[in-house]
Structure 1
Amino acid sequence: MKDSPTTGHAAVHSHGGGTDLAAPEGTDLENRFANPGLPAHRFRVTDTDPKAARSAERQVSTIFLLSAVGTVVFLVGYFALPIEEDKSFERLLLSTLVLGLGLGFAIFCIGIGLVHWAKTLMPDHEQIELRHDIAGTEDDRRDAANIILDGVEESGVMRRTVIRNSLIGALGILPIPAVVLFRDLGPLPGEVLRHSLWENGVRLTRDPDGTPIRAADVTYGSVFHVIPDGMEDSAHPIEEKAKAAVLLIRIQPEKVQAAPERDGWDYDGIYAYSKICTHVGCPVALYEQQTHHLLCPCHQSTFDLTQHCKVIFGPAKRPLPQLPITVDNEGYLVAQRDFPYPPGPSYWERGESE
C-alpha cells in the first residue's frame, strides 16, 4: 500500500488488487455537492380549476351518502331476516351475507371518501420540518396549536359544508349497527344472571348428549362436563348453558379442606363447580390430577379443588361457585339447589358477599 505524495489529493489504497478513493483530510463532502432542493410543485386539476374542485366535492359527498346507504342495508337486513324465527342454514347464510355486506360497504365508503377528499381537495404542498429539541417553549406550543388550526383550515372542513355535513351524517348513523348488535350479547346484568336452570332435583347430564350420570360411574380423578337435564328444551339453550355449565370431579374427601358452611354440598367426594371462569367467562376445562388444580386456558387463572376452587394464581378474583349435589332414589346425581351466587365474571350489581 502506498500513499500519494501529492498533498491535497485523494490517496489511493490497494486492498488485494482493488483500489478505493479516500477523501482528503479537512474536506467537507457536504459542500462538494449542490443541494438539489425540492422539485417544482405539480398542481392538481382541482387546485387550478374551481369547477373540478366542486365536482370532486360532490363526489366525496356522494361516497359518504353511499356509506349511509350501507348502514341502512345492515339495519334492514337485521330486522327483516331474524334468525330466531328461522334457524335454517340458508337463513343464517343470507342474514350473515346481508349484514356483512351492508356494514362492510358502509365502512369502506367512509374510508374511500376520506382518501378521495385528501387526494383531490386537501393541500398537497411539499414541506420540510427541521428537527429540533423535544422540549418546546411556550412559543413552540403556541405554534403547534396554530399548526393544528391551520390544518383544519386547509382541510376545508369548515368551508366545504356539503362534505362536512355528509361526513357527519355518515359517521352519525354508522354506530347504530354496533348498538343493535349489543342486543345479541346477552341479557343485562341483573336478576336474569343470578339464576340458572339448576334447582332441587334437576339431574346432572353429560355435555353434549344429555345422558344422566350415576354416582357409581364417577371414579376418582375422572372429570365430567355437565349440563342440566332438559336444557335443550329451554327457550334459550345457549344462554342457559353459559350460566349452568359445570365440571364434575371426584376426589378423596380427606384431601379437601373442611368448610362447615359447605357440609353436604358434595356426594362422597364428588364435587360440582361452575365451569365459567370468574375472570372473563372462559371455560375452565383443564384438570391436573396430581395437584387437583383447575386451569383456565385463556389467562391461566388457577383454582385449587382442595380449597373449594379458591384462586391460587392468575387474574381471577373469586373462587368458582360450587353447585350443591346429591343423588336421587335411582342413584343419579341431582342438584340440591342453584349456585349460591351468580357464576361467571363480576359485574356492578353483585352484592358485597359475592
Structure 2
Amino acid sequence: MTHQDRNAADHLPESGKPGKAVDPFADPGLPAHEPRRQDIDELAARHSERVVTMFFLLAVVAAFAFIACYVLIPKSKVVFIFPWGHVMAQNFGLGGTLGIALLCIGVAAIHWARTLMSDVELPAERHPIEAPPAVRQQVFDDFRQGAYESGIGRRKMLRNAMLGALTIVPLSAIVLFRDLGPLPERKLESTAWANGKRLINMNNDQPLRPEDIAVGSLTFAKPEGVQESDANFQEVMAKAALMIVRIMPNNIKDKQSADWGHQGILAYSKICTHVGCPISLYEQQTHHVLCPCHQSTFDLADGGRVIFGPAGHPLPQLRIAVNGQGYLSALGDFDKPVGPGYWERSA
C-alpha cells in the first residue's frame, strides 16, 4: 500500500460524505442498567439480608462444632464413611466442620455482594499511575459511597452476624496449636537434680569427693542415677548438665555463691542462658567461662553473672554439700530455671 493509499484509507467517506473519518470499531457503550429485584423491593432485600445472616451464623455454629470435634472425638477412633471407607473420625470431623465454616462465610459474602451491594457499572478512563488529587478524592468518595450502599451501617443484624463469624471462625484454629506437642507444664523449671543426689563425674561415672576437685580445674557432672544407656539421657542432660569449679574462698565475690558451695567448690549449670549451648571454656585466672556459640561470658566467682555477650540471665547455681559418706551431693534443684529465658518463666 502506497503512502497515498494509506491517506485515502484514513478518510473513507461515511454516508456518502467525502473526507469524514470513520471508526470501524466504534464504542457501543454500556447497556442500560437493569435494577435487581432487591433494588426495588425492600421485602426481597430483607430476605437476602436474612439469607446472608443465616450463612454467617452457620459459620459460627460450624466453628463451635470444629472445637467440639477436637475435644470430644478420641484421636484413635475410626469410622466407616461412604465412599471413603474407614477414616479417622476426628480428622474427618475437623475437616468437615472447618470446610463448612469457610464455605458459609464465602457464600454469605458472595450473596451479599450480588444481591445487596451496589452493582451499578462505573466506567473509568485510563489515567497515569500517579492519580491527580481530584481522582484520589473521587476514590475516597466512591469508597464511602460503597460502604453506605453496602448497607453495613444500616443493616445491623447482617453486620453483627458477619463480625461474629469473622471473629469466631478464626478462633477454631487456636485449638490446633495443642497438637504442636505436650504442654511443658513446669518441666522447664525443674531438672533431675534433687536433695541428696550425689554429683557423678561424667568422665569415670564415679561419685565426686571434695578432694577430687582441684583449684583452677573444671569438672563436669551428672545427677546420680542418670545413665547414658537411658532412653531419655539426652533430654535429661539438656537441663541437668553441671560444671564444677574450685576457687579460693577469698576470691569468691558473691556471698550467696560461697554459702551454696563447699570450701570454694561451686556448681553451676553448664547450659548457656542465651540459646542453650553447652559451656566448656574456662579461664582459671579470671574464673570466667565462655560459651563457644555466641561468646557469652559468665563470672563464676560472682554468682555466674553475665559480663559479656547476648545472654540475659546469670548461670543458675546448684546448692551442694558433703554427705555422711564424704561425697558431694545436691541440696535441691537449681535456684533458677535452666537455659534460655522464656516469657512464662516465673523467675
- Structure 1 SS opposite 2:241: strand
Conservation of the 8 A alpha-carbon contact between 2:271 and 2:277: yes
Cα offsets for 1:125-182 (capped at 9, x unmatched): 455676357xx8xx99987875553342133323445532321232343465577789
Change in 2 beyond 3 A, CA 1:163/1:336:
same
Residue 56 (structure 2) aligns with = 64
Q: Aligned-pair distance for 1:70?
A: 2.8
- Structure 2 SS opposite 1:271: strand
Cα offsets for 1:11-57 (capped at 9, x unmatched): xxxxxxxxxxxxxxxxxxxxxxx9x9999568999x63439977875
- Structure 1 SS opposite 2:161: helix
Conservation of the 8 A alpha-carbon contact between 1:199 and 1:338: yes
Conservation of the 8 A alpha-carbon contact between 2:244 and 2:265: yes
Conservation of the 8 A alpha-carbon contact between 1:221 and 1:251: yes
Conservation of the 8 A alpha-carbon contact between 2:198 and 2:223: no
Q: Aligned-pair distance for 1:262?
A: 0.4
1:318 paired to 2:313 = yes
Letter paired with 2:255: P
Residue 259 (structure 1) aligns with = 254
Conservation of the 8 A alpha-carbon contact between 1:265 and 1:325: yes
Q: Which of the two has higher C-alpha Rg? A: 2
Residue 330 (structure 2) aligns with = 335
| Corresponding residue to 1:73 among 65, 71, 88 | 65
- Structure 1 SS opposite 2:291: strand
1:97 paired to 2:85 = no
Q: Aligned-pair distance for 1:119?
A: 5.7
Conservation of the 8 A alpha-carbon contact between 1:215 and 1:327: no
| Corresponding residue to 2:36 among 43, 48, 51 | 48
Change in 2 beyond 3 A, CA 1:214/1:260:
same
1:1-354 alignment, distance < 5 Å: 48-50=36-38, 60-81=52-73, 90=76, 97=91, 101=95, 104-105=98-99, 108-109=102-103, 112-113=106-107, 116=110, 120=114, 122-123=117-118, 125=122, 127=124, 131-132=130-131, 146=141, 148-161=143-156, 163-174=158-169, 177=172, 196=190, 199-202=194-197, 214-215=207-208, 245-250=239-244, 253=247, 258-263=253-258, 265=260, 271-273=267-269, 275=271, 277=273, 284-289=276-281, 292-294=289-291, 302-304=296-298, 306=300, 308-310=304-306, 312-314=308-310, 316-326=311-321, 328=323, 334-341=329-336, 345=341
Change in 2 beyond 3 A, CA 1:321/1:176:
same
Distance 2:224 2:28 in 1: 73
In structure 1, stretches of 5+ residues that fail to align are: 1-33, 83-88, 207-211, 230-240
Distance 2:272 2:157 in 1: 52
- What CA RMSD, in Å, does the superposition of the two structures yield over aligned residues? 5.9
TM-score with structure 2 length normalisation?
Answer: 0.51
TM-score with structure 1 length normalisation?
Answer: 0.50
Q: How many residues align?
A: 276
Distance 1:107 1:327 in 2: 64
- Structure 2 SS opposite 1:214: coil
In structure 2, stretches of 5+ residues that fail to align are: 1-22, 78-86, 227-234, 284-288
Change in 2 beyond 3 A, CA 1:310/1:49:
same
- Structure 2 SS opposite 1:261: helix
